Amino acid sequence: MPPTHSLITKTQPLNLSIPSDPPTHGLANPLPQTATTTAKMPLKHPNHPDPPVPTPIPTPLPFPLRFYSPTSPTPDDRGRTLSTILCWPPSRLESSHDYIQNLFPLPERSPYNPSAPLIDEYTFYTFRTSEELQSQLRRSLACMARFYGFDYVVRGGDGIAEVMITFEPQPQPDFEAATRNWLTTPFSHNHLRITRIIRCCRLLGLEAEAEAFHDAITKAAQHPQFARSRMYWRRAAERPLYLAPEDEEDEEDEEKWTGFLYRFEEARDECRSGVESEGEDGDG
């Protein structure tokens, strides 16, 4: 029988709608607050730029939506569901290389798995407006964070109080054992996975989680041999969403500068400008 705990530790009640189908490996006790990396979950402004989901509804639904469905999940082309993958032991998460694109899809085609699912406009807006889908994605993030040596901890959240998200290093010797997968070789496949995880979480609405995960990973990988990886992680965490980490900023790609991610960033900038203007008017 698998244990009944969740991969996400909640120190106070928080309605994250986490499905009760957890991986089989457990949580360690969190370290003190001084050892954590924290990001604040932003409260949504009434003028949040997320527009309604585009219509018409595609048939069939894009694979990421079916794979992450909390009620009727679709397995991947090898018969594996989300819950199946999240129950894998660390050894299988390390040795298998064709699941990470299903857990963390991107809008860019993978050179290593060209048939991997992609984030299209419908998937993008559906995830960003669905707490149920985002809760499913949090399960994947918590699983991979633990694989890399971090516990995903949520504090606060009584409906009004600010929510704090942290990725806390596991106690020794667990942390050292987990980091052997990615802190021993510069620019390994796990470093590419981390870049993908950060970018995917930002794209699909887990921006506070992406920020906290990026900070925790970066603090652990301060050795100069990881400078190139840190550059890509920073790009994934900070760039406008229409720019992939591997893109050059002056690259001429008409699709990127006119696509749905560019339009989203434009709308978000307008929203932020509107909020700032309201604040200035209120101070007067």
Could you read off the pLDDT of 40-64 as tens digits, one per residue?
A: 444 344 445 656 666 678 999 999 9
Asked whether residue 25 carries a pLDDT value surpassing 90, the answer given is: no
- Structure confidence at residue 162 (pLDDT): 72
* pLDDT for 38: 45
Q: What is the pLDDT of residues 82-134, one digit of tens each?
A: 999 999 999 999 999 999 999 999 999 988 888 899 999 999 999 999 999 99
Model pLDDT, residue 55: 64
**pLDDT (0 to 100) of residue 102:** 96
pLDDT in the model for residue 57: 86
For residue 20, what pLDDT is reported? Answer: 34
What is the per-residue burial (b if ≥16 Cβ within 10 Å, else e) of 36-70? bbbbebeeeeeeebeeebeeeeeeeebbbbebbbb
Closest CA to 23 of 84, 79, 74: 84
Mean pLDDT of 4-19: 41
pLDDT reported for residue 236: 98
pLDDT (average), residues 235-251: 88
Q: Name the token pair of 41.
A: 């979950």
Average of pLDDT values for 9-19? 38
CA–CA distance, 222 with 62 (Å, rounded to integer)? 38
Structure tokens given for 175: 């942390």
Share of the chain above pLDDT 70, in %: 72
Q: What's the rounded Cα separation, in Å, for the pair 187 and 223?
A: 12
pTM of the entire structure? 0.81
Whether the pLDDT of residue 284 is over 90: the answer is no
pLDDT of 37 reads 43
pLDDT at 170: 94
CA-CA distance, 179 to 264, in Å (whole number)? 36
The pair phi, psi for residue 205, each rounded to 5°, is 105, -5
Per-residue confidence at 270, pLDDT binned at 50, 70, 90?
A: confident
The number of angstroms, rounded, from the C-alpha of 276 to the middle of its chain's C-alpha atoms is 28
Token output for 272:
């932020």
